[in-house]
Amino acid sequence: MMPKLLVAPLAAGLALSPAVAAEQAPAAATFVGRVDPAIFHKTPLEERKIGATVDPAAVRLITPGVDKFTIYRLIGPPHFMEGITRRWNYVLFFPVAPGSVERVRCRVEIRFIRERGHYDVTVSDVIWQDQACADRVAAAR
């Protein structure tokens, strides 16, 4: 029998995993964001960014109200050396088809807000560079 002190942290860790979060909130995960290519500026060595290969279903869980710690668990830290800012930019790669080695390169910016009287900084907006990337996330299951 496990001591009660160990069971609570284990249960909390499972509740925060992306797989469990996807099972718990399928109806809430309908937000995809908007498309605005004008906000994405060329940065030095942008094309060489390694980025992260992620499941579009995990990205679909990034909705207004989600905190930065949840984003770390879903897609990792920002890719453009942004730390304590209100905008995080990512280079994400999505598989072209299930089981495919080919990937589609996508840019996304996640904006944050801190509501007056609250401690947590949460997502206020998700902005995609290309409509095809937003569509891929919207179609994810």
pTM over 0.75: no
Q: What is the pLDDT along the chain (141 residues), one digit of tens a residue?
A: 444 444 444 344 444 444 444 443 444 446 788 999 988 877 777 777 788 899 999 999 999 999 989 998 999 888 776 666 788 999 999 988 888 889 999 999 999 998 887 778 899 999 999 999 999 999 887
Number of domains, the chain: 1
Q: Are 135 and 59 in contact (CB under 8 A)?
A: no
Q: Are 72 and 99 in contact (CB under 8 A)?
A: no
- Which domain covers residue 133, as residue numbers? 4-139
C-alpha–C-alpha distance, residues 1 and 120, integer Å: 36
Three-point CA angle 54, 93, 126, nearest 5°: 75
What tokens does 15 get? 């509740």
Amino acid in the structure at residue 50? I
